Amino acid sequence: MCLGVQVYMIPKKMKMFYEMVFRLCIVTCSVLVASHLAVGQAQENNALPLKYSQRDGTYLYFSDRALSPTLPFNGIVSVRVSRNTGRGFKELLIAARPSTLKEFKKMCGEQTWSQMKVIKKLSSDEEAWKYIVDHHLLDDYGTLAFDMAFRQAMGSAYLDKEAAGLATGKQWRYKVDWLNASGGIIQSAEGTITGGAKLFTIGHVSKSRSFANDSLVNLQWYALEKQGSNHIVMADIFRQTGGKGPFTKLSAKLFANRKGDSLIFNYRENVIPQALYRYYLRPTDEMGNSAGPSDTINVLSFNFAALPLLQDVSAQDTLNGVFVKWKPLGDLPHVTGIEVQRSRDVRGNYVILDTIAVTSISFFDDRVLPDIPYFYRLRLVALQGMEKEAGYSGYVTAVVKNKLKNPDPPYSLEGNIVDGKVHLTWQAVYDPDLYAYFVYRSPSDQQKFEVISPGLQTLDFTDTSSVSGRVQYVYAIKAVNNYSLESEYSNLVTMRQPVVELPDAPRGLNAYLDHGKVVLLWPSASRTDHAIAGYNIYKRELQAQNTFSADQPAAVQATSLKFILVNDALITQPHFEDRQLIPGETYEYAISSVDIFGIESTYSPFAKLTVEIAARIVETCTIRKIGTGIELTWDPSLHEGAEVVSIYRKRAGAMNYQRVASLTGGQTTYVDKTAAKGALYIYVISAERGKTVLAKSEEKNIHY
């Protein structure tokens, strides 16, 4: 795995310093020091500790602690990494721990950040950041020392992903400079990697044994080792709960135990009773290179001798049948269903009506006749051979009756935003014939309401549908009884889901000069978007970069595009006048829309305009013959605002002027020594800034 490491010889007088520097480079965990990295050898030969992965790239290790300007170690605050691929060293980055929580979290990634909080038992981001600031040694973070994203965030290592897949025999050289607070180099080190390494592989990881009860699982896998005994083998463990949904990577990292030529992985954890769990491993080396996944182990955490009972079983008659309901059982993977039986005789003669899913909380029996009492009993059916033999967990009786009274409307409807969705709660209707509640929604209280829920027996509902974040929706609840009679609407609540939806940007922009000011005009965006509240004006000097994202607000992109916001308050009319101009400068303008929710659109098309300058005519310029040539003089006011003063000349009858001199500084005299005797010349003196002429003289004629 570590190929072609070369050494960079250092004078003996620097030996003491390098002993300090390479102490920084020793990897945190003792198991990593024992790996193929050979840090001790690298320290002894004054070479850079690095390691190569054909799949991932080059791993470079700088320190066993965080490095940052706020936490210097022996004067070191950061590390500069450079790479030579055959054309000389080029700087890749300056590595240091970020100074803010937001930057650190972004660098290490959401998954690693969450894993760190679990390992250290930290409840909030702020608490986790304080722990990082107070604990700079990688030893304080356990197996996270093997996580390259975390090490890079700590400023102690770097992964060059561009080196992945390097051709066999191809060599890249790296240089690391340890820097002080002023950017000075305290010392440097170099190292070389060679392409063509084989990927990490071990034998297939097979299931060995498993054990589970209602609160604990104990699992074991094994594999035959294919690599040397000094190779570190770890494993990430993945778990699926409930027998559905994605597998989740757990925070724990397993280390393989060697037994002969086998690698043994053991895992144990406390679990929730009565649940199906599935586990598999993915072995890794110390750099995170992954081998193939293991066999999947399935375990059930329950005791078949203690099946739960159905609770709160009740029956209500409806217009066309009997509605039987009970409390939810929850997720019971060891139970296959609920058996419903019915009889007209309480003493017996029950027949099976149906076996329904264990997730069901009700059963509707429409094979009934009015005014006849029916007796129901229910029981759980477990896995084959596991039927509950101790009797039935629910007995109820119901008679179908005819009723005409509408239920009362629900009351105290309230709405809140929970996890970005509208969550509704209301008070119950106390009606023995109540069947369910239904949720209604409308874009306004003046438009038609539509049902958006199934029949609900609960007193809350979350609107999970994808709706516009720019509409205030009106919600209401109705109660429906067992005879399909509806109540009136409950009280209304108005809610808006916090879905970011950019408003329409202005579709065009016109700009022109008018008496020293720039006038901007654009079509009103409110014609197509009624929620537009106003506009923002952006301005910049002419730039080459003209592309922008239509999916991001203008303010988010302003810095990268070098735009500045011109207005202090929203512009409410589709026109604007800009008087803050520099003559001769070229400007670009763009407009964005802002809606009533404070959301800003992207940019309109850009408009470009150059502020023209009228050249001043300076009449106090003179020309005369002297012994050495033709002398031109001009007033110092000609220089005002100019970078150079240019002298132009042509012979009488010629079409074009030729520049004969460009003068900088405050010079006010020039002698043209190249003029030919007997010729008639015409001169012009011009004051210029870039390609713009600020002032010039009248044409001056002289016969020399």
Rounded distance between C-alpha atoms, residue 489 and residue 497, angstroms: 22
* pLDDT at residue 302, rounded to an integer: 67
Calculate the alpha carbon distances from 186 to 13, 179, 390, 528 in Å: 14, 6, 80, 62
- Listed in order, the ranges of the chain carrying CATH 2.60.40.10 are 206-300, 314-398, 411-495, 510-610, 616-703
**pLDDT the model gives residue 303:** 60
Torsion of Cα atoms, 597 then 603 then 607 then 610, to 10°: 90
Backbone angles phi, psi at 380, to 5 degrees: -85, 145
- Select the highest-mean-pLDDT range: 211-215, 332-336, 617-621: 617-621
> Among 47, 43, 25, 32, which Cα is nearest to 230's?
32
In a 3-state reduction of DSSP, which class is residue 412?
Answer: strand
pLDDT tens per residue, range 70-97? 888 989 999 999 999 999 999 999 999 9
Q: SS3 for 677?
A: coil
pLDDT one-digit tens code per residue, 621-680: 999 999 899 999 998 888 888 889 999 999 988 999 999 999 988 889 999 999 998 899
With beta carbons less than 8 A apart as the criterion, state whether 57 and 160 touch: yes
What pLDDT score was predicted for residue 10?
A: 32
161 phi, psi to nearest 5 deg: -70, -20
**Best-predicted range by mean pLDDT among 174-178, 389-393, 689-693?**
174-178
C-alpha–C-alpha distance, residues 215 and 235, integer Å: 24
Q: How far is CA 464 from the centre of its chain?
A: 22
Q: How far is CA 527 from the centre of its chain?
A: 34
Tell how strand 57-61 and strand 50-53 pair up.
Answer: antiparallel
| Residue of 99, 111, 104, 120 lying closest to 153 (CA atoms) | 104
pLDDT average, residue stretch 569-573: 93
The answer, yes or no, to whether residue 336 has pLDDT greater than 70, is: yes
pLDDT given at position 348: 78
Long-range contacts for 131-136 (Cβ within 8 Å, ≥24 apart)? 132/66, 132/104, 136/65, 136/66, 136/71
53 or 355, higher pLDDT: 355
* pLDDT at site 225: 76
Q: How confident is the model at residue 410 (pLDDT cuts 50, 70, 90)?
A: very high
CA-wise closest residue to 680 among 655, 650, 659, 656: 650
Q: How far apart are CA 35 and CA 122, in angstroms?
A: 31
What gap in Å lies between CA 215 and CA 336, rounded to an integer? 21
Helix (H, G, I), strand (E, B) or coil at 468: coil
Provide the pLDDT for residue 95: 94
| Residue 590 phi, psi dihedral angles, 5° rounding | -150, 150
Rounded Cα distance between 437 and 460, Å, is 10
Beta bridge partners of 259: 262
Integer Cα distance of 547 and 602 in angstroms: 11
Q: How confident is the model at residue 319 (pLDDT cuts 50, 70, 90)?
A: low
- Checking if the pLDDT of 369 tops 80, the result is no
**What is the per-residue pLDDT for 452?**
92
Tell me what pLDDT residue 446 has: 81
The amino acid that residue 525 corresponds to is: A
Q: Which residue has the tokens 């803050």?
A: 580
Q: What is the chain's Cα-based Rg?
A: 40
With left for phi above 0 and alpha for psi between -120 and 50, is residue 700 left, alpha or beta?
A: beta
Cα 127 from Cα 145, distance rounded (Å): 20
Write down the pLDDT at residue 90: 95
What sign has the CA pseudo-torsion 136, 142, 143, 144? negative
pLDDT of residue 2: 31
Least Cα distance to 647 among 236, 629, 13, 576 occurs for 629
Q: How far apart are CA 310 and CA 326, in angstroms?
A: 7
Which pLDDT does position 557 carry in this prediction? 92
- CA–CA separation, 676 vs 123, rounded Å? 90
Interatomic CA distance for residues 492 and 470, integer angstroms: 19
CA dihedral 671, 674, 675, 678 (to 10 degrees): 130
pLDDT over 80 at 5, yes or no: no
Does residue 17 register a pLDDT over 90? no
Looking at the DSSP bridge assignments, the partners of residue 210 are 219
The kind and range of the H/E element at 107 are: helix 101-108
Who's near 556: CB < 8 A, 6+ residues apart?
none
Average pLDDT, integer, range 605-623:
84
Mean of all residue pLDDT scores within the chain: 83
pLDDT digits (tens, 9 = 90+) for 254-271: 888 888 888 899 999 988
The pLDDT value recorded for residue 407 is 87
Pairing of strands 700-703, 680-689: antiparallel
Mean pLDDT for the stretch of residues 583-606: 90
Backbone angles phi, psi at 626, to 5 degrees: -130, 180
**Is the model more confident about 281 or about 336?**
281
Between vectors from CA 167 to CA 163 and to CA 172, what angle results, nearest 5°?
50
Model confidence at 344, pLDDT cuts 50, 70, 90, reads: confident
Write the DSSP symbol of residue 676.
P
Band of pLDDT at residue 516, cut at 50, 70 and 90: confident
CATH number of 616-703: 2.60.40.10
Q: Indicate the angle between helix axes 125-134 and 101-108, nearest 10 degrees.
A: 90
Q: What percent of the chain has pLDDT over 70?
A: 87
Integer Cα distance of 185 and 182 in angstroms: 9
- Take residue 442 and report the two structure tokens written for it: 């409308």
User: What 3-state DSSP class applies to 673?
Assistant: coil
Is 680 in contact with 703 (CB distance < 8 Å)? yes
CATH superfamily of 411-495: Immunoglobulins (2.60.40.10)
How many C-beta neighbours within 10 Å does residue 385 have? 6
CA distance 430 to 442: 27
Residue recorded with tokens 């310029």? 621
Region 440-453: what's the mean pLDDT?
A: 88
pLDDT at 335: 75
| In contact, 688 and 671? CB cutoff 8 Å | no
* The pLDDT value given to residue 37: 34
Who has greater pLDDT, 209 or 516? 209
pLDDT of amino acid 704: 86
What value does the mean pLDDT take over residues 190-215? 81
| CATH 2.60.40.10 for domain 510-610 | yes
Cα of first residue to Cα of last residue in the chain, in angstroms, is: 84
pLDDT higher than 50, residue 560: yes
Q: By C-alpha distance, which of 172, 143, 167 is closest to 54? A: 167
Strands (E) in 335-463, as ranges, are: 335-343, 351-356, 362-365, 374-382, 394-398, 411-418, 421-427, 434-442, 450-451, 460-463
More confident residue, 227 or 587: 587
Q: What's the token pair of residue 265?
A: 């992985």
Amino acid in the structure at residue 114: S
Residue 433 scores a pLDDT above 60? yes
The CATH number of the domain covering residues in 314-398: 2.60.40.10
Backbone phi, psi, residue 41, to 5°: -65, -40
Looking at the predicted structure, is the pLDDT value of residue 23 above 50?
no
Most confident of 261-270, 271-280, 309-318: 261-270
pLDDT over 90 percentage in the chain: 40
Decide which of 518 and 33 is more confident: 518
- Rounded Cα distance, 441 and 474, in Å: 6
Question: What residues pair up with 414 in beta bridges, in sequence order?
Answer: 425
Mean pLDDT of 518-547: 88
Which CATH class, in words, describes the domain spanning 206-300? mainly beta
pLDDT at 231: 63
Give the mean pLDDT of 17-31.
38
DSSP 37: T
Give the distance from CA 351 to its chain's centroid: 58
Angle at Cα 597 formed by Cα 592 and Cα 603, nearest 5°? Answer: 15
Tell me what pLDDT residue 262 has: 86
Check residue 197 and give its pLDDT. 63
3-state secondary structure (DSSP) of residue 12:
helix
Residue 391 pLDDT greater than 60, yes or no: no
Report the run of H or E that residue 171 belongs to, with start and end.
strand 171-179
Confidence of residue 3 (pLDDT cuts 50, 70, 90): very low
CA of 393: how far to CAs of 306, 359, 378, in Å? 13, 16, 6
Residues linked to residue 520 through DSSP beta bridges, in sequence order = 511, 576
Which one is predicted more confidently, 602 or 32? 602
What is the average per-residue pLDDT within 575-587?
87
Quick one: pLDDT at residue 46? 55
Residue 370 banded pLDDT, cuts 50, 70, 90: low
